[in-house]
Chain A
Amino acid sequence: MRGQLNGQQRVVHELRVLVGFRLRVDGGDPRRSLAVVAAVLLLLGAVVPLTVARWAPQEQASPLVNLSPSLWFAFLLLTLGTSLASGGGRELMPRQAGVVFPVSAAADQAGALLLTPLNLAWSVQATLVVTTTAYTAGPGWRGVLALLAAWVWVLSATTVAQLVGWSAELVRTWRLGSHLLMAAWLLGAVAVAAVVATQDLGSVLAALPTLPLYVTALAGSPLSWVAVQALLLGVAVGAVVLAVPVVERLQRRPTPRQSDAETRSWRRPRMPSSPLAAAVATDVRSVLRSSPLRRGLLLVLLVPWALAVLLPLPWAAVVVLPALVASGTALLHGVNVVALDGAGAVWRESLPHDPDVTLVSRLLALATLCGTASAVLVVVASVRAGAPEPSEVVAAVTAVVVATAQVVSRCARWSVHHPYPAELRHGRDAPAPPVAMAGYAVRLTMATTVGALLLSTAAATGAVSLVLAVGLVLLSLSLLRLRRAFAEHSRQETRARVVAAVTGG
């Protein structure tokens, strides 16, 4: 059967099989799920941008014209970051399950590309880019053409970022590869710092390579428009074609970074002072020794910090930052925090301990990561945010506490209700299947952002007591959710189900 298919047909066939399998395993009706995905893509990718272009007041568009090339460039940086952090991209079928199936490098690569829209950060940024571009172009054919050009940019930036991600992953397999990559990161950081220190922001933005692309998308002659889009599409196709041999090579090589972690000797820790300390130490080590979690943490910490340093944000925006960082951190492993133990969950459950201790320990590790990342970010951003009102300072501090509590309580509930097996061993591993991850990302971001906006609005009134009252209400709701999760976890039947799910048995 397979022998009768040519190369491209085989890739399409493999993709169809893998997508169908993935959707069925995740418990959905494949046709219905695909219809929902298509509807959402159409809505966010075309209906929303064209509606905004048609109906939004055009007098607001001119400030966005100056901002749009930066948005295009920021999209490239973001998609590069996510591709580097996820080792090229997510997998349609987890490596553990897929190892016995003959999945070609081309199908693996195409699958990762296909899953990209399920990354909330990518989707939000892509929607922002295409909507802003269509809006600044205005209604009618001009808007439609600008929208098409924006999508071509999104496609080419994504494919190039994936090629870079796969290539970096291949470099990592070289003997000194990880050192080379670290040097490249440092060089990049030094270059950015040098540019920021020596140039003013306006001249930096004017020199962005996305400026001529954006100008052509909006106001280029028909010939230049077609030429630029053809060039970008050529780049996209070239990146996809070039990535296939890279993925092929990658499939044949072990991941040395992980091999290093698995073959080196670790220093023996001191005897913990209590069962809770022992459990926390075990969970923190589990997080820090996981390659995808380390990389993800780096991304979640560095990107907002870099933005906070580069761009002076008002206090109203500083209050929203903890929501975004806490949500991003929780998406690394928190949404399925019970998977940290992997197959060892059975043994750990057989140890004599208060079941609350294990859950508390995992959530403490998560809360520490989310809380610290958010708090440090607020401090960094506050340096350039100008002199605050007392209510704004209180709102920022409350936002850190509330966002952490919201994230931890939701993660506790999801972990107990919907546990999944997850290795969290390789760069491409995620704590839950792609569709579930997309759902978690939307719900976490929505909940925390709404909370942050409420705090920000309360801060704008200048009343500290109102900020504290809003914070208290949000915190109480989170504590109630947390209490319900603990009550559920205390039942042996629940824990047995969780253990069976995360161990795949």
Chain B
Amino acid sequence: MTGSAPLVRVDGLQVRFGAVRAVDGVDLSVDEGQVLALVGGNGAGKSTTMRVLAGVVPATSGSVQVAGVDVRADPLAAKRRTGYCPDVGGLLPRATPWEHLQLSASLRGLQGWQPRAEHLLKRFELADVADRITAGFSHGMGRRLSVVLAGLHRPAVLLLDEPFDGVDPLGVEATFELVEDLTSTGSAVLVSTHQLDLATQVARDAVVLRGGAVVGRCPTSELVGHDGVRRYRALLGT
């Protein structure tokens, strides 16, 4: 927390798909060096919110800014400042991890990215499969590679959507390390997950979504333990 403007700022975000309101008036902000967990059940609007921040889905209304850039007005600049791990899949089936990294580096105009790429692949235990196409990857391997791709360019804003889904403890640990590394240099991190225990470990603050709307904000410490889970369930209305 440096007191400067938040790196992620979402005001009154609404996203509609036909008659369905996927996101209905979400407000949130993430400061420099902060990790915010976006938690909630299936269909709460977490992934849609993340997709809007990543510039993949347009907002129906509301304002969305990343690193001071309006995502709607200048999506290219916003995407340059963002690293995004999508919720499902997220990998080109007939490209290798190295080719994914190369495509990202080329489109971002990165120079000298190879040593960091090698380091991340090794840290996430993907070095041995760096030249195999991803169609043959397990779900967990795919998730780990998506996190590597999101963090390659040390983005100002890191968006991790369900990064722990199906990932083994070593992969979870590597993700924690990456988040810590980036926040220590001032990045803002937004982690969307339905795994409350991991959310409370990786983030200090949480926003709880239900039915596309924010139903609670609190430090993650208040969601720990028996009472925390009871409170969380109450917020989800279960």
* A interface with B by C-beta (< 8 Å): 258-259, 261-269, 271-272, 274-275, 277-279, 282, 285-286, 289-290, 341-344, 346-354, 423, 425, 492-493, 496, 499, 503, 505
Question: For residue B61, which residues in chain A have a CB less than 8 angstroms away from its CB?
Answer: none
The A-contacting residues of B in range 214-236, CB under 8 angstroms, are none
Question: For residue B56, which residues in chain A have a CB less than 8 angstroms away from its CB?
Answer: 346, 349-350, 496, 499
The reply to whether the CB of B55 lies closer than 8 angstroms to some CB of chain A is: yes
Asked whether A343 and B88 contact (CB < 8 A) given A261-B133, A268-B131, A493-B58, the answer is yes
The reply to whether the CB of B57 lies closer than 8 angstroms to some CB of chain A is: yes
Q: Which of A278, A279, A347 has the most CB of B within 10 A?
A: A347
Asked whether A262 and B89 contact (CB < 8 A) given A282-B95, A493-B58, the answer is no
Question: For residue A271, which residues in chain B have a CB less than 8 angstroms away from its CB?
Answer: 102, 105-106
A423 lies within 8 A of B93 (CB): yes
The reply to whether the CB of B90 lies closer than 8 angstroms to some CB of chain A is: yes
Question: For residue A344, which residues in chain B have a CB less than 8 angstroms away from its CB?
Answer: 89-93, 95, 100, 134
A262 lies within 8 A of B54 (CB): no
The contact string, 1 if C-beta is below 8 Å from chain A, for chain B 125-149, is 0000001111110000000001001
Asked whether A272 and B106 contact (CB < 8 A) given A282-B92, A290-B94, the answer is yes
The reply to whether the CB of B82 lies closer than 8 angstroms to some CB of chain A is: yes
* Chain B: minimal CB distance from A53 (Å): 50
The A-contacting residues of B in range 89-133, CB under 8 angstroms, are 89-96, 98-100, 102-108, 131-133
Residues of A contacting B: mostly = helix
* Chain A: minimal CB distance from B136 (Å): 3
B132 lies within 8 A of A265 (CB): yes
Q: How far is the CA of A264 from the CA of B130 in the complex (A)?
A: 11
* Chain A: minimal CB distance from B43 (Å): 12
B99 lies within 8 A of A282 (CB): yes
* Chain B: minimal CB distance from A362 (Å): 12
Say which one of B72-80, B176-184, B185-193, B203-211 lies at the interface with A: B72-80
* Chain B: minimal CB distance from A144 (Å): 51
* B interface with A by C-beta (< 8 Å): 51, 54-58, 75-77, 79-80, 82, 84, 86, 88-96, 98-100, 102-108, 131-136, 146, 149
B84 lies within 8 A of A350 (CB): yes
A269 lies within 8 A of B58 (CB): no
Q: How far is the CA of A275 from the CA of B79 in the complex (A)?
A: 15
Q: How far is the CA of A344 from the CA of B90 in the complex (A)?
A: 4
Asked whether A347 and B90 contact (CB < 8 A) given A269-B99, A492-B58, the answer is yes
* Chain B: minimal CB distance from A429 (Å): 11
Question: For residue A277, which residues in chain B have a CB less than 8 angstroms away from its CB?
Answer: 106
Question: For residue B108, which residues in chain A have a CB less than 8 angstroms away from its CB?
Answer: 351-352
Q: How far is the CA of A343 from the CA of B139 in the complex (A)?
A: 12
Q: How far is the CA of A493 from the CA of B84 in the complex (A)?
A: 19
B146 lies within 8 A of A347 (CB): yes
Asked whether A347 and B91 contact (CB < 8 A) given A352-B79, A354-B76, the answer is yes
- Total residue contacts A-B, CB cutoff 8 A: 125
A347 lies within 8 A of B107 (CB): no
Question: For residue A263, which residues in chain B have a CB less than 8 angstroms away from its CB?
Answer: 132, 136
Of A262, A346, A492, which is within 8 A of B133 by CB?
Answer: A262
A347 lies within 8 A of B94 (CB): no
Asked whether A351 and B79 contact (CB < 8 A) given A263-B132, A266-B132, A343-B88, the answer is yes
A selection of 28 A-B contacts at a CB cut-off of 8 Å is A259-B136, A261-B133, A261-B135, A262-B132, A265-B132, A269-B102, A274-B106, A278-B103, A282-B95, A285-B94, A286-B95, A346-B51, A346-B89, A346-B90, A347-B84, A347-B91, A347-B92, A347-B146, A348-B92, A349-B55, A350-B79, A350-B86, A351-B107, A352-B76, A352-B77, A352-B107, A492-B75, A505-B88
Question: For residue B146, which residues in chain A have a CB less than 8 angstroms away from its CB?
Answer: 347
Q: How far is the CA of A22 from the CA of B95 in the complex (A)?
A: 31
Question: For residue A265, which residues in chain B have a CB less than 8 angstroms away from its CB?
Answer: 131-132
Q: How far is the CA of A286 from the CA of B80 in the complex (A)?
A: 25
* Chain A: minimal CB distance from B13 (Å): 15
Question: For residue A505, which residues in chain B have a CB less than 8 angstroms away from its CB?
Answer: 88
* Chain B: minimal CB distance from A355 (Å): 9
Asked whether A343 and B103 contact (CB < 8 A) given A262-B132, A351-B108, the answer is no
Question: For residue A503, which residues in chain B have a CB less than 8 angstroms away from its CB?
Answer: 88-89
Question: For residue B134, which residues in chain A have a CB less than 8 angstroms away from its CB?
Answer: 344
* Chain B: minimal CB distance from A287 (Å): 8
Question: For residue B82, which residues in chain A have a CB less than 8 angstroms away from its CB?
Answer: 350
Q: How far is the CA of A505 from the CA of B43 in the complex (A)?
A: 12
Question: For residue A267, which residues in chain B have a CB less than 8 angstroms away from its CB?
Answer: 131
A425 lies within 8 A of B93 (CB): yes
Asked whether A350 and B55 contact (CB < 8 A) given A259-B136, A269-B99, A286-B95, the answer is yes
Question: For residue A354, which residues in chain B have a CB less than 8 angstroms away from its CB?
Answer: 76
* Chain B: minimal CB distance from A312 (Å): 40
Question: For residue B98, which residues in chain A have a CB less than 8 angstroms away from its CB?
Answer: 268
B131 lies within 8 A of A275 (CB): no
Question: For residue B106, which residues in chain A have a CB less than 8 angstroms away from its CB?
Answer: 271-272, 274-275, 277-278
Of A275, A279, A350, A493, which is within 8 A of B54 by CB?
Answer: A350
A262 lies within 8 A of B136 (CB): yes
Question: For residue A289, which residues in chain B have a CB less than 8 angstroms away from its CB?
Answer: 94, 133
10 more A-B contacts (CB under 8 A) besides A272-B102, A282-B92, A282-B99? A259-B136, A262-B133, A262-B135, A269-B102, A279-B103, A290-B94, A343-B88, A349-B56, A350-B55, A496-B56
Q: How far is the CA of A275 from the CA of B95 in the complex (A)?
A: 16
Asked whether A347 and B95 contact (CB < 8 A) given A262-B136, A279-B103, the answer is no
The chain A residue sitting closest to B146, CB to CB, is A347
The chain B residue sitting closest to A491, CB to CB, is B58
Asked whether A343 and B132 contact (CB < 8 A) given A279-B103, A350-B55, A350-B79, the answer is no
Q: How far is the CA of A349 from the CA of B75 in the complex (A)?
A: 11
Q: How far is the CA of A268 from the CA of B55 in the complex (A)?
A: 30
* Chain A: minimal CB distance from B217 (Å): 26
Q: How far is the CA of A272 from the CA of B54 in the complex (A)?
A: 25
Question: For residue B96, which residues in chain A have a CB less than 8 angstroms away from its CB?
Answer: 266, 268
8 smallest CB-CB distances across A and B, nearest first, come from A343-B89, A262-B136, A344-B92, A278-B106, A352-B79, A289-B94, A265-B131, A346-B86
